[in-house]
Amino acid sequence: FYTILALWVGGTLLVSLVKVHADADGLENVKPRHLFFGRYLTFFVLGQIQAAIVAIGDIHLLHSQVLEPGLFYLVAVLASFTFTLLIYSLAISFGDLGKALAVVVMVLQIAGSSGTFPIELLPQFFQNVYLYFPFPYAINAMREAISGMYEMDYFIYMGKLLIFAAASLLLGLVIRKPFIPLNHFFEEKMKETKMM
């Protein structure tokens, strides 16, 4: 749970520290998708460095008993990719509101992702919504790598994480298009206030 949480918090901090919008100044024939993937590459690389540090640290520094270390590392890699892509897509699509939404989603996942308590012991609200967040699938895939594989569960959880990555791409490349003028308007108004 805390390894997965660390990967999410790292992605959230990245969008706070690194500018999410790429400048097209001096570039010719640049499409929005080029800017999206070009800037995301920075988030991807930094997220993968963090995943390596966390996973290797769990195994070699904390001496966690991991039955399948390679698969454990692979979960960290895929979770980091999914989380950074989702958080980046929220931030680039909705600006500061998207960053705040990433924090709200994190808080909801901390409380109700079945990472600390079995989902059956949590309030009904969390039992209804926890399936719509990526944490449970990453945590369950990591449990499979730590404790041993049961049939195809590991691959099912990893596949469900990839569904969140695909939804993030849809959000970042398609759904955000109508919000681009609105985001520019809010950014200009924020600059006019000279507070940001």
- Vertex 89: Cα angle to 125 and 86 (nearest 5): 50
What does the mean pLDDT of the chain come to? 87
The residue type at 106: M
Place of tokens 């929005």: 32
Q: Is 62 exposed, middle or buried (0-12, 13-18, 19+ CB in 10 A)?
A: exposed
pLDDT in tens, 45-101: 999 999 999 999 999 999 999 999 999 999 999 999 999 999 999 999 888 888 888
Structure pTM? 0.87
- Per-position b or e across 26-49, b if 16+ CB within 10 A of its CB: eeeeeeeeebbeebbebbbebbee
